[in-house]
Amino acid sequence: MKIKEFLRTMAVGILPFVTLLLLSVQPLKAADYNVLDFGAKGDGLTLDTKAVQQAIDQCSAEGGGKVIIPSGKTVLVGTIYLKSYVMLYLENGAVLKGSPDIKDYTTDTHKNRYKFEPHMDRCLIFAQNALSFGIEGRGTIDGNGHPKYFNRKTGRPMLIRFLNCQDIHMRDVKLINPAAWTSAWINCDDILVDGIYIHSRVNHNGDGLDFDGCTNVRVSNSSFDTSDDSICLQASDTERGCRDVVITNCIFESKWAGIRIGLLSRGDFENVTVNNCTFKNIQDSGLKIQMNEGGKMSNMIFSNLIMKSVPRPIFLTFCQQRAYVDSPDTLYPMDKMGDMTFQNLSIDNRMLDKNSGIFITGITDNYIENIILKDIRMHVSGEGTKADADRKELNEYTPEVLKKWWPEFRLVGTLPASGVYLRHVKNVLVDNIQLFTEKQDARPPIVLDDVLNPAVHHFFLNGKPIEADQLKHQ
């Protein structure tokens, strides 16, 4: 009995110490910082910039946590600055809304790196040299960027700009109504974007996600409806490339391009994969890839893509043009563009006019190299004429033709092929292409113009293998 009582006494005495020990090894929960506790009104009328910034500053200073925009509230702000270890968290039903007054947007948020566009230098949310931060939640960031508030004369602030940041997460949020681009990510590393929705139609140049000189980028499970390119990969710094990028399980709808790679292209692009995506109702191009400022572009795979009402499913140009705002007036020498695979594409353009097809072009003596087009089914409207088929003197994308602007399709016009037109390309494999024309088309289905080492296998027109005279060389 004495031994049992002794053990019972010991157990009772040691229990508080064991409990204290267990509590001491539990992970500390990150703190929450509700902007209402810092004086935000959340009525959609009062400017709450200072309150939101105070919450961000304190959260970062105390080691990090969530800065909460609470559900049911509309928090009106001008420019705010995200900082390290801060997660801006928008609860379901919460709205963070941009001020309609350009004076509420600061001028120390870097700049837009494209020439001729200083009116887009300001932004709503900015971060520089920040670590391990992001934006999450099922709420909405509304840029309130309507033309009645913002135009080229007043300035049109971007929604988000991150500069020289690392370990960034963006999940589940809705990003709507920016006055210019939705986001610019410049020289950032380790980016995860998942499950977001972007609607950018109220103003011009409404890009979705623009990654400039970024590495280790993963975008997935997201939807885009934009007035300009939905996703852009860029490389404006010669010392920083855009590499190791994965885009998957996304839906694109755009007034311009679904995915654009290039234009800002002083640095290198490599290791890019795009797969399992849907493109619809895009007015210019699904995949618009343009190398023109001296960098290299290689190692890219685009696979398992569905495109409907996309005039140029694949549009590649290799030429010379100045795009970066601080570039010298002289054009950069051309380097390399190639090593790309486009496989397993389903394309339906039968509702469009005859100007829809795959268009890949370098310029004389500057070839796009090592291209694979494989397992592609494409429906087009047809109706190309014999005059279209006989076109030979198509514009080249030379500086004289470009006149300081971009290499757009309109500068070339109707192609002499009903399906695939390749010009100044070296080492190309075309295999298992099924082209269907809704109406009669006098153009050959494929034209090779100055193509070196071509291999064309299993090309079908309206279910029948093409004859030798239907493979046209120019």
Query: What mean pLDDT is predicted for residues 256-280?
Result: 98
How crowded is residue 288: how many other Cβ atoms within 10 Å of its Cβ? 26
Query: What mean pLDDT is predicted for residues 33-49?
Result: 98
pLDDT at 29: 54
121 inside domain = yes
Bigger pLDDT: 129 vs 17: 129
What is the tens place of the pLDDT at every residue in 157-183?
999 999 999 999 999 999 999 999 999
Tokens at 226, concatenated: 């934009």
Is the pLDDT at 274 greater than 60, yes or no?
yes
3 inside domain = no
23 inside domain = no
Task: Tell me which of 151-155, 258-262, 327-331, 443-447 is least confident.
Answer: 327-331
Task: Reduce the DSSP state of residue 22 to 3 states and report it.
Answer: helix
173 inside domain = yes
pLDDT at 474: 80
Angle at 315 between CA 455 and CA 264, to 5 degrees: 125
Q: Which of 59, 81, 77, 79 is nearest to 68 (CA)?
A: 59
Number of domains in the chain: 1
What is the tens place of the pLDDT at every residue in 410-422?
999 999 999 999 9
Whose tokens are 């409404």? That residue is 206
155 inside domain = yes
End-to-end CA distance of the chain: 106
Q: Which of 266, 390, 273 is nearest to 333 (CA)?
A: 266
Task: Compute CA 416 distance to the chain's CA centroid, rounded to the nearest angstrom.
Answer: 31
pLDDT at 17: 46
Range of the domain at 211: 33-473
pLDDT at 249: 98
Output the DSSP codes for 78-113.
S-EE--TTEEEEE-TT-EEEE-S-GGGS-S-S----
Is the pLDDT at 195 greater than 80, yes or no?
yes
Bigger pLDDT: 198 vs 3: 198
pLDDT at 18: 42
Task: Report which residue type is found at 77.
Answer: V
Instruction: Specify the CATH number for the domain of residue 206.
Output: 2.160.20.10
14 inside domain = no
E-assigned strand segments in 113-208: 123-128, 131-136, 140-142, 158-163, 166-171, 174-176, 183-186, 189-194, 197-200
% of the chain with per-residue pLDDT over 90: 91
309 inside domain = yes
Are the beta carbons of 293 and 343 closer than 8 angstroms?
Answer: no
13 inside domain = no
DSSP 367: -
